[in-house]
Amino acid sequence: MTTQQIEMFLSLAEHLNFTKTAKEYFTTQPTVSRQISLLEEEFGFPLFVRSKKEVRLTYQGAVMVKKCREALEMIQNGIREVRDIVRNPDMELKIGSLEGMDLDLFVSPTAAYFNKQYPNIKISIERRSFGELRDKLEKGDLDLIFTLSFETRYLKNVVYDEYYPVQSGILMPGDHPLAGKADLKPEDFYGETFILPEASDSPGRTEELQKILEKLGICWGRILYVPNQESILLNIRSGKGIALLDNSWREVYDDRYYFFPLSQEEAPLSVVCAWKRDNLNPAVALYTNMLKEKDFIDVFAN
């Protein structure tokens, strides 16, 4: 079914004359007749009663005149809305980012670039814990979130892109006995306490940590659970333990901490951008498609 077929049907319903409809669309009567027949085949019922003397609507055709007018109006409104989308002052994009992430690495530059391209779309960015990001995305309070790849298995009905690979590693306080040790090896972390967010905030992290530590040959001491990611840093600084984190954290480059890097093979990880599959906010499509098209956007150069 095409919009032209619908338009021809409505024209014929108005004129009840094949010749007039053919002239209106600069075509021939057989062409109009064929298009109407195709429409009738698709609908599964006749729209007109045809005779040598006249053309009349069937009762099915009378019903479809109203419905086709409504459908055509909706399509035309949609086309106008698409053309006006970037000028719509009521559009908003709500972005959530994992607490602790260095937003200057990716979120802020991409949002700034997007704002330059679409200045009438209002953007808001907020930091949240793993659990808060999942909850707010599910409720529709956020349009899209930046989180870590292991979280995707706990997000329901989402589309996501792996946006930026990050390097995992073990973060410890700068005055830890192993900090800066020459030829530091994974097995040197024998018996250490590892700090993790509670399962209510980030489920599956215990199994994920144990899997990586076993691969590295690290025999850990115990696991200390804290409410969220931010609490991990506080407890590291307090000397309560060490943690498996990644270089999306600004603190990785802070002299008060020491970061022992791991390879992608040892601990694969990436930042992902995720959004609900049924979120039809046009700003989401504009933003996520921009992320796919442009890597590491330098907002000052654009």
Map tokens 């006006």 to a residue. Answer: 84
Same domain, 70 and 184: no
CA angle 114, 107, 256 (to 5 degrees): 155
Shared domain for 154 and 41, answered yes or no, is no
Same domain, 76 and 213: no
C-alpha 129/C-alpha 110 separation (Å) is 21
Same-domain pairing of 179 and 257: yes
Q: What angle do CA 102, 106, 109 make, to 5 degrees?
A: 110
Q: Are 145 and 219 contained in the same domain? A: no
Residue 72: count of CB within 10 angstroms of its CB: 15
Question: Is residue 41 domain-shared with residue 176, that is, in the same domain?
Answer: no
Domain endpoint, select from 30, 58, 86: 86
Task: Let me know whether 199 and 250 are in one domain.
Answer: yes
Structure tokens at 215: 């691969």
Are 30 and 7 contained in the same domain?
Answer: yes
The domain tally of the chain equals: 3
Point out the domain boundary residue: 86, 114, 132.
Answer: 86
Q: Are 251 and 291 found together in one domain?
A: no
pLDDT tens, residue by residue, 4-20: 999 999 999 999 999 99
CATH number of the domain where residue 132 is located: 3.40.190.10
pLDDT attached to residue 88: 67
CA distance 230 to 100: 6
Domain match, 230 and 177 both? yes
pLDDT tens track of the chain, all 302 residues?
Answer: 899 999 999 999 999 999 999 999 999 999 999 999 999 999 999 999 998 888 999 999 999 999 999 999 999 988 887 777 766 667 899 999 999 888 887 788 889 899 888 888 899 999 999 999 999 999 999 999 999 999 999 999 999 998 888 999 999 999 999 998 999 999 999 999 999 999 999 999 999 999 999 999 999 999 999 998 889 999 999 999 999 999 998 888 888 999 999 999 999 999 999 999 999 999 999 999 988 876 544 443 33
Burial class of residue 234, CB neighbours in 10 A (0-12, 13-18, 19+): exposed
Given 52, 86, 120, the domain boundary residue is 86
Same structural domain, 134 and 57: no
The rounded distance, in Å, linking the Cα atoms of 288 and 149 is 16
pLDDT at 299: 40
Q: What is the DSSP letter of 141?
A: S
Write down the pLDDT at residue 104: 82
CA dist., res. 267 & res. 185, Å (int): 15
Q: Is the dihedral of CA 128, 131, 132, 137 positive or negative?
A: positive
What CATH number should be reported for the domain holding residue 24? 1.10.10.10
The encoded tokens of residue 10 equal 């409505």
Q: Are residues 151 and 108 part of one domain?
A: yes
Calpha distance 100→85 (Å, rounded)? 34
Domain hosting 210: range is 168-261
